[in-house]
Structure 1
Amino acid sequence: MKRMAFGITLFAVLLLFGDRLTHASEAQAALTGRTSVYRYEIPESLSPEEKNWFKTFQEGNFLSEGWQQISAEIMAKTPPEQRSAQKIALDNLGRKIGMEWSRANDVRKVDSTMLQEWGDILRTTARKNPQQLASAIAYIDQEVDAVLD
Structure 2
Amino acid sequence: MLMLAGCASSRVLSEWPETVPEQSIFLQAYQQDLDNQAQQSDVEYLTWVVRFYEGWEMMATGWNDMTPVVLSDLSPQQSEQVAEMRDNLGVLIAAEWAKDNDERIIDTRMLSLWGGVMVAALDPEVRIDAIALITDDVERLLAGELAPARINDARYTERLPIVLD
TM > 0.5 fold call: yes
Q: CA deviation at 1:39?
A: 4.8
Mapping 1:36-47, distance limit 5 Å:
39-42=20-23, 43-45=26-28, 46=30, 47=42
Matched residue, 1:57: 52
Alignment: residue pair count: 114
Aligned match of 1:18:
none
Which runs of structure 1 show a deviation greater than 3 angstroms over 4 or more consecutive aligned residues? none
Q: How far apart are residue 134 of structure 1 and its match?
A: 1.4
More helix by share: 1
> Quick check: 1:98 aligned with 2:94?
yes
5+ residue gaps, structure 2 = 9-17, 31-41, 144-165
Look up the SS of the partner of 1:104 in the other structure: coil
What is the alpha-carbon root mean square deviation over aligned residues?
2.1
SS in structure 1 opposite 2:72?
helix
Q: Which amino acid aligns with 1:69?
A: D
Question: Displacement of 1:109 after TM fit?
Answer: 0.1
CA contact (8 A) 2:20 2:53 kept: no
37-46 or 137-146, larger mean C-alpha shift:
37-46
Deviation at 1:77, TM superposition (A): 3.3
Q: Distance in 2 between matches of 1:100 and 1:40?
A: 14
Q: Residues 78 and 133 of structure 1 are in contact (CA less than 8 Å); yes or no, is this contact kept in structure 2?
A: no
Give the alignment's TM-score, normalised by structure 2. Answer: 0.63
SS at match of 1:57: helix
| Percent of residue pairs identical | 28
